[in-house]
Amino acid sequence: MDLGVLRKVGHKKQVEFSTPVIIAWHNGKSRIVGDFRALNTSTIPDRYPIPRIHERLTQLSQAKLITALDALRGFHKNVLTDNSKKLIRIIVHCGIFQYLRIPFGIKNEPYED
């Protein structure tokens, strides 16, 4: 919550949808892990066709700057839309929380046109 990833939305409030969670332990620290498989089956996947390697190498030969993206730390960066926040909620012993940013395990973010 301190990182701006989760927001408490209530304790005894009824919600339309929530995700099951487990508590995972790693190196003596606990973390909440959401099981988003049910939500992912209802989500239309974004399509990102992989370009041909020859086309990419031709484009790179003309590049002035090359960069790398850190996909490992890419989660919890992008802000969810209001409609998406309603779908990505978790219930734990201390209340009902909704994600404000895309969590690990989401296929792709539902979006509004």
Query: What pLDDT, on a 0 to 100 scale, did the predictor assign at position 39?
Result: 87
Summary mean pLDDT of the chain: 80
In what order do the strands lie in the sheet containing 89-92?
6-10, 95-99, 89-92
Mean pLDDT on 84-96? 85
Q: Which superfamily does CATH assign the domain made up of 1-41+69-113 to? A: HIV Type 1 Reverse Transcriptase, subunit A, domain 1 (3.10.10.10)
The angle subtended at Cα 83 by Cα 10 and Cα 88, nearest 5°, is 55
List the domain boundaries for the chain.
1-41+69-113
pLDDT score of 23 more than 70: yes
Per-residue pLDDT tens digits for 32-82: 788 889 888 888 887 777 778 888 888 888 888 777 766 666 677 888 888
